[in-house]
């Protein structure tokens, strides 16, 4: 089955594939696509051999720098980025979890300074295998990557 | 960001710890050196703590520095409702160094990010209190003549007690053996036991404050067991006296044993221990002065000797 048929082909832009369906709308929010003037196509619960079912985001006429796109790695570690030019995939690579995650995760500790002061949160990745664990730079509280609360 | 700040004991290296101990020893002999002449230190106590504030302010005064600040934000209307960032930036215009205590965890770390003057963390909620750790290390070093190869028994509230957690982490450079003595509800959290495993630190864990544990210890570090830490009040009633140290329990202890406690105590050390030469908690608090003089001069980049 060809998922490509489910959404319009892209002349130029970015396709983010293999997103867990449950993370698609979080990814849209993290990438700030709610406010973009570009055409955005969102697919959820599409069949996938890898994930069972998957989500996909297509953004026309837009390419992201690595720092921006890697912001979704925490919630969508399986995501694959395809850069499209002239209807062809010219670049394809998985997302990479950065060492530090800025301004995406809310600290679960109510006594943390980040929950009481207008400031960006900062989490350091302290473990990648077997499970992602991140730790608040400020109060040192740790949380599993898949349990992290997205701002 | 000023690299001489001290937010967490985990931020500094073994060499820096040894340098601070060296400074503390110097200040024990030269407590009234006027080497802060012309320097202004701000003590910002967003959360009141008389004990810690007096220790820091005495340290500055004995070194000839000047102090500005506040001891209770409730009395300072300009600070109330202002962001921490704005307060730190305002004070940075006046002071050479900020010593701060705050009820929010991570407040001191954040403060270092918004100013170029050094920050000393004098306690941020349940998180870090590095000057306490330095005075503990100095007390151990002074009473034992070394920091390496010691058996340290931690007793009481090992779950919430930040002082024991920081001490444990700071000791990683010195090949310690730990005994963790606590009721099940207040046992050492798994992450610190994992830390010991990762660092190759030996430890035992028991709920029994037994003669065997006491008599093999070089240091016994007592902490306060607070009723409000227990989900079941009956459990508190059952265990509260099991972790109280009485003088008779020290009869067969090692001659070099010293008893430490971060103070204030409630009933975890019976007053009949106070006159035992192995009781060291009052001197320990006094060492806080020298440890803080060490931290202050390091923060200001002042070389001694
Ligand atoms: Zn936090």
- Asked if pLDDT for residue A79 goes beyond 70, the answer is yes
Could you give the maximum distance between any two Cα atoms of chain A, in Å?
51
Helices (H) and strands (E) in chain A, counts: 2, 11
Q: Calculate how far, in angstroms, residue A113's C-alpha sits from the geometric centre of ligand 1.
A: 7
Q: Show the tokens assigned to B210.
A: 């037994």
Confidence category of residue A1, pLDDT binned at 50, 70, 90: very low
ipTM: 0.90
The answer to whether the Cβ–Cβ distance between A111 and B109 falls below 8 Å is no
Mean pLDDT of A121-130: 92
- Residues of chain B with Cβ-Cβ distance to A139 below 8 Å are 105-106, 124-125, 127
Q: Compute the distance between CA of residue A80 and CA of residue A36 in angstroms, rounded to an integer.
A: 21
Q: Compute the distance between CA of residue B178 and CA of residue B163 in angstroms, rounded to an integer.
A: 15
Radius of gyration of chain A (CA): 16
Closest CA to A43 of A4, A77, A70, A92: A4
> Do the domains at B9-128+288-299 and B130-285 have one common CATH topology?
yes
- B130-285: CATH topology is Rossmann fold (3.40.50)
Sorted by where each begins, the domain ranges of chain B are: 9-128+288-299, 130-285
Q: What is the pLDDT of residue A6?
A: 45
The pLDDT tens digits of the residues spanning A5-39 come to 445 688 999 999 999 999 999 999 999 999 999 99
Q: Compute the distance between CA of residue B228 and CA of residue B242 in angstroms, rounded to an integer.
A: 17
Ligand 1 ion: Cβ-proximal residues, 5 Å cutoff: A 107, 109, 112, 136, 138-139
The answer to whether the Cβ–Cβ distance between A112 and B106 falls below 8 Å is yes
- B9-128+288-299: CATH topology is Rossmann fold (3.40.50)
B129 catalytic per annotation: yes
pLDDT in tens for each of the 305 residues of chain B?
899 999 999 999 999 999 999 999 999 999 899 999 999 999 999 999 999 999 999 999 999 999 999 997 776 655 668 899 999 999 999 999 999 999 999 999 999 999 999 999 999 999 999 999 999 999 999 999 999 999 999 999 999 888 999 999 999 999 999 999 999 999 999 999 999 999 999 999 999 999 999 999 999 999 998 888 888 888 888 888 899 999 999 999 999 999 999 999 988 999 999 999 999 999 999 999 999 999 999 999 999 87
Q: Does B105 touch chain A (CB under 8 A)?
A: yes
For residue A118, the 8-state DSSP code is S
| pTM confidence score | 0.89
């Amino acid at each position: 089955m060809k998922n490509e048929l489910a959404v319009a082909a892209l002349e130029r832009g970015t396709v983010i594939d293999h997103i867990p369906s449950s993370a698609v709308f979080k990814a849209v929010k993290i990438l700030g696509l709610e406010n973009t003037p570009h055409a955005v196509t969102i697919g959820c619960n599409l069949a996938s051999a890898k994930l069972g079912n998957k989500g996909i985001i297509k953004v026309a006429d837009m390419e992201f720098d690595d720092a921006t796109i890697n912001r979704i790695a925490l919630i969508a570690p399986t995501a694959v980025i395809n850069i499209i030019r002239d209807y062809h995939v010219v670049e394809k690579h998985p997302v990479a979890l950065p060492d530090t995650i800025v301004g995406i995760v809310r600290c679960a500790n109510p006594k943390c300074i980040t929950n009481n002061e207008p400031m960006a949160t900062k989490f350091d990745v302290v473990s990648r295998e077997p499970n992602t664990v991140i730790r608040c730079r400020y109060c040192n509280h740790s949380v599993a990557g898949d349990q992290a609360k997205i701002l | 960001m000023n690299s001489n700040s001290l937010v967490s004991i985990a931020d500094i290296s073994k060499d820096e710890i040894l340098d601070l101990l060296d400074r503390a020893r110097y200040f024990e002999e030269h407590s009234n050196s006027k080497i802060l002449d012309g320097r202004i230190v701000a003590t910002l106590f967003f959360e009141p703590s008389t004990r810690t504030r007096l220790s820091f302010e005495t340290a500055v005064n004995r070194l000839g520095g000047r102090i500005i600040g506040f001891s209770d934000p409730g009395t300072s209307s300009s600070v109330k409702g202002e962001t921490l960032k704005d307060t730190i930036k305002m004070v940075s215009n006046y002071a050479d160094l900020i010593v701060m205590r705050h009820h929010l965890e991570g407040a001191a770390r954040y403060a270092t990010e918004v100013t170029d003057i050094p920050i000393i963390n004098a306690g941020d909620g349940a998180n870090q209190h590095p000057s306490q750790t330095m005075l503990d290390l100095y007390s151990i070093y002074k009473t034992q003549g070394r920091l390496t190869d010691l058996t340290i028994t931690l007793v009481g509230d090992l779950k919430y007690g930040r002082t024991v957690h920081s001490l444990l982490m700071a000791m990683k450079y010195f090949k310690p053996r730990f005994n963790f003595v606590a009721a099940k509800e207040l046992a050492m959290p798994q992450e610190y036991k994992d830390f010991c495993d990762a660092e190759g630190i030996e430890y035992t864990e028991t709920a029994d404050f037994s003669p065997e544990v006491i008599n093999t210890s070089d240091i016994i570090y007592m902490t306060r067991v607070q009723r409000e830490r227990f989900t079941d009040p009956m459990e508190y009633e059952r265990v509260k006296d099991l972790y109280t140290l009485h003088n008779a329990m020290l009869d067969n202890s090692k001659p070099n044993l010293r008893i430490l406690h971060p103070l204030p105590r409630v009933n975890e050390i019976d007053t009949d221990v106070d006159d035992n030469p192995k009781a060291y908690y009052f001197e320990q608090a006094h060492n806080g002065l020298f440890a803080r003089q060490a931290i202050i001069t390091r923060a200001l980049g002042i070389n001694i000797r």
